[in-house]
Structure 1
Amino acid sequence: MENRAGESMMSEIKFKVLKDGNTMKYIPVIKKMRNGSLSEIRERLNNNGYVDTCPIENIDGLRQMNDLIEELRKKGAQINLYENDRMVEQEFLKNIIESHFDTERVLQEIDDKVIEQDWSENDEDHKHF
């Protein structure tokens, strides 16, 4: 994706907690799992701001975000999740995370095969001496 100046823009995932009169229940959960002052968290919740924002390539951040969403939902929060400005389901977030780990597994398998092949070739070279 590119902006108008032609510069590359990475996607980001972000979410809001819908106002429901239970803001005080959500603040301790957010404070425990994310950095930020109580006043900042309260302001974001009260002004319908994004509670958390994370670049799509930051898998650790996305995992933490998913955990936070799960904890907030356990407290009864309704969440609106976005990729950039497009609303998505939490399943979308989970799929991004799972896809990353699938890719990591495949790359590790490839690395293992290359290393195994290098070792077997080196063993063959040593047999000739």
Structure 2
Amino acid sequence: MAKMQIQIEKDSNEIKYISILRKNTKKSISEIRELINNKDFLLSYNLLEIDELLEMKKIVGILLDAGAKVHLFEDNREVSIELLNNLIESHFDTQRYREEIDEQRFKED
């Protein structure tokens, strides 16, 4: 399964980031701190699930607003936040296309 993951650079605002992540995950404070210190992935999302990607975009936005240096990875390759936005838009385009096809089929019947 293709995944997108979040990593945050450690800095002096680590406590702010931990607070944000605690509100949005089930991870403990010590677990989040350890992941940040070890430069590990904090969160992982399925690329094929629009709801997960939207949740990821929300959390990334909150972290960026708090001043975090966020890194996104598709599997082990770093990607831009723009790619995340493009993936979400692609999902919506596909959804709109399917709805149009369904409407055309309904009209033909």
Matched, 1:95 2:86: yes
Task: Measure, in 2, the Cα distance between the counterparts of 1:36 and 1:112.
Answer: 43
Aligned length: 109
CA displacement at 1:35 relative to structure 2: 2.4
Partner SS state of residue 15, structure 1: strand
Secondary structure in structure 2 of the residue aligned to 1:105: helix
Map 1:38-53 onto structure 2 (within 5 A). Answer: 38-53=29-44
Q: Secondary structure at the match of 2:7?
A: strand
The runs of 5 or more residues in structure 1 that have no matched partner are 1-9, 119-129
- Which amino acid counterpart does residue 99 of structure 1 have in structure 2? S
Q: 1:22 aligns with which of 13, 20, 33?
A: 13
Identity %: 39
Max Rg structure = 1
Q: Secondary structure at the match of 1:49?
A: coil
How far apart, CA to CA, are the structure 2 residues paired with 1:92 and 1:33? 22
- In the superposition, the TM-score normalised over structure 2's length comes to 0.93
Tell which has more relative contact order, 1 or 2 (C-alpha 8 A, sep 6+): 2
Aligned to 2:51: 60
Q: State the shift of 1:34 in Å.
A: 2.1
Question: What is the root-mean-square deviation of aligned Cα atoms in Å?
Answer: 1.1
Partner of 1:33: 24
Which runs of at least 4 in structure 1 moved beyond 3 Å after TM superposition? none
